A and B are shown apart, each in its own frame.
Chain A
Amino acid sequence: MEIWNEAKECMSRDEMTALQSARLRKTVSNVYHNVKFYRRKMQEMGIEPGDIRGIEDIEKLPFTTKDDLRDNYPFGLFAVPKTEIVRIHASSGTTGKPTVVGYTRKDIDTWCECVARSLTMAGLGKDDIIQVAYGYGLFTGGLGAHYGVEHLGATVVPMSTGSTKKLINMMIDFEVTGLMCTPSYLMHIAEVMEEMGVLDQIKLKATINGAEPWTEAMRNQIEEKLHVKAFDIYGLSELMGPGVANDCAFHKGMHIYEDYFYPEIIDPNTKEHLEDNVTGELILTNLNKEGMPLLRYRTRDLTSITHETCECGRTNARLSRFKGRSDDMLIIRGVNVFPSQIETALLSLDETTPNYQIIVDREGALDTLMVKVEVDEKFFSDEIRELEKLEKKISYAIQQMIGLATKVKLVEPKSIERSVGKAKRVIDNRKFD
């Protein structure tokens, strides 16, 4: 199994800590002197660059949030003169202003390096032909993946998003071996291939999928249908783009490129550090970025981390499969509850569809939790007794998952309020004031 950059990906912990410390010091000094936002924040907190002696001091630094990026629209967080910026990406803001990211030439090189590491992890190399079916444009997916493939030395086919049939025909004609796209688009491609009856004509070895959450079940489905290995890539435009972390052939979490991105896991409420293997919010710090380095960016993504050396030989820490977003977290009777846990419990039962809604209320001083589940014809019974049994079974499964007693209410199909096709998952009727 190939490793793109063994020196960095298999570095001993001591060496990595030394490298991270040196890079953090440099980054902090850079933003303190060149970004007004960070200088003001650090001054308010009474910290100077000299107080950061090593990576262990990272907790002293301020957090950065998505709102900070919006407030400094467009170029307020750039740490270099505009003449040094060679590319800009932006994410469309569903609420308010877009967030803008700027890259220097060296930042683009770093990004290429990261994507090349990911592609190598997926078993792809310079002999491969890789289709990139992320959107090209302001979104980081398309161009980020594109230049990474070129840096690897493989052949890139810049499909972007468009006709699926054209993509499949080219995949067959060019004997494409690698594909980068979102997991949901890959599911769609597989369906169209099935309709076209061409599943046996493809030469695909690996797919690299990211930019949206997906599950192990989806991975298994994709691998089975397409006879490929499917890999999970993580990235976010605020920090760089796709290629912050990727899983190796052992699929035991995504290796994060620690020489460029320093990961912390915190309790989203107390903001304190959590131990390895405990789920919390992922915080990332750019360690070697010039254009727009971010300190302790709150990703809102929920995951856990392990620093154990992987079977593949890499020492880069691994992030577990993402469990949801901390924005969605509910605190019910002092227990952290994520809608994704309830979804997992429902999916573990054959009888249920994951069409649910969580309703939190307060009776007196006690929080109550009710989960509405839509009745599907698959498990609909004509006997009340059977339906009551089902309610108990669902309630038990949820209780096992979150540790709280839950009332389950069966409701009619499609009766859960939907906005633009998506069900509203949480209704919190409690008043906090």
Chain B
Amino acid sequence: MALKQLSVFLENREGRLEDLFQVFGENSIQIHSFSLAESSEYGILRLIVSNPEKAKDALKAVDFSASLTDVVAVRLPGGFDSLKSVTDAVTSNYNIEYMYVLSTEPGQQAIVFKIKDVAEVEKSLEEKGFELIN
């Protein structure tokens, strides 16, 4: 079971982030993690939130362009020093499109990444003993 990431299109316009956080507040959506990708004209905010479906609908209701993307979230057994073991386990077949941190809590460190064929990658990670987060 892949994790659903909420992706939001943001123009580089004043006040749009505030609008977005206000929608989250009004709908009791908690943010677990996020990363922002940007070009000179616009950005894409990628978020892991408590209720992605509800968050998407709430954003759409106020004219944000938002979508849900399947991503892989995996626990790092040996902290960030063990990142290489994850990338080794998945990159033999595919490229990781992007990656960011989900948790920095000691002993609970985890990352999120986007890759082609999420189901297959998740299967191979599980076979190699990694813990997935859904």
- Is B37 part of the contact surface with A, judged by Cβ < 8 Å? yes
Contact A377:B66 (CB < 8 A) given known A382-B46, A410-B41, A410-B42: yes
- Is B55 part of the contact surface with A, judged by Cβ < 8 Å? no
Contact A384:B10 (CB < 8 A) given known A412-B63, A412-B64, A412-B65: no
How many A residues touch B, CB cutoff 8 Å?
17
Annotate B46-81 by CB proximity to A: 1 below 8 A, 0 otherwise: 100000000000001001111101000000000000
Give every chain A residue within 8 A of B38 (Cβ-Cβ).
Answer: 384
Give every chain A residue within 8 A of B46 (Cβ-Cβ).
Answer: 382
Residue of A377, A384, A412 touching B11 (CB-CB under 8 A): A412
B64 touching A413, Cβ below 8 Å:
yes
How many B residues touch A, CB cutoff 8 Å?
24
Contact A383:B97 (CB < 8 A) given known A377-B60, A410-B41, A410-B42: yes
Contact A382:B65 (CB < 8 A) given known A375-B9, A411-B11, A412-B11: no
Bound complex: CA of A222 vs CA of B13, how far in Å? 41
Per DSSP, are chain B's interface residues mostly helix, strand or loop, or mixed? strand
Q: State how many angstroms separate the Cβ of A385 from the closest Cβ of chain B.
A: 8
Give every chain B residue within 8 A of A387 (Cβ-Cβ).
Answer: 9, 39, 42, 44
Give every chain A residue within 8 A of B13 (Cβ-Cβ).
Answer: 412, 415
Contact A382:B10 (CB < 8 A) given known A377-B67, A412-B65, A414-B63: no
Residue of B10, B63, B66, B98 touching A383 (CB-CB under 8 A): B98
Residue of B5, B11, B39, B60 touching A382 (CB-CB under 8 A): B5
Q: State how many angstroms separate the Cβ of B84 from the closest Cβ of chain A.
A: 24
Bound complex: CA of A412 vs CA of B42, how far in Å? 9
A380 touching B67, Cβ below 8 Å:
yes
Interface residues of B in 5-56 (CB under 8 A from A): 5, 7, 9-11, 13, 16, 37-39, 41-42, 44, 46
A411: nearest chain-B partner, CB-CB: B11
Q: State how many angstroms separate the Cβ of B78 from the closest Cβ of chain A.
A: 29
Per DSSP, are chain A's interface residues mostly helix, strand or loop, or mixed? loop
A interface vs B, CB < 8 Å? Answer: 375-377, 380-384, 387-388, 409-415
B67 touching A382, Cβ below 8 Å:
yes
Give every chain B residue within 8 A of A415 (Cβ-Cβ).
Answer: 11, 13, 63
B37 touching A380, Cβ below 8 Å:
no
Give every chain B residue within 8 A of A413 (Cβ-Cβ).
Answer: 63-65
Q: State how many angstroms separate the Cβ of A132 from the closest Cβ of chain B.
A: 40
B65 touching A377, Cβ below 8 Å:
yes
B16: nearest chain-A partner, CB-CB: A412
Residue of A377, A381, A409, A414 touching B41 (CB-CB under 8 A): A409
Q: State how many angstroms separate the Cβ of A161 from the closest Cβ of chain B.
A: 32
B71: nearest chain-A partner, CB-CB: A382
Bound complex: CA of A377 vs CA of B64, how far in Å? 9
A388 touching B67, Cβ below 8 Å:
no
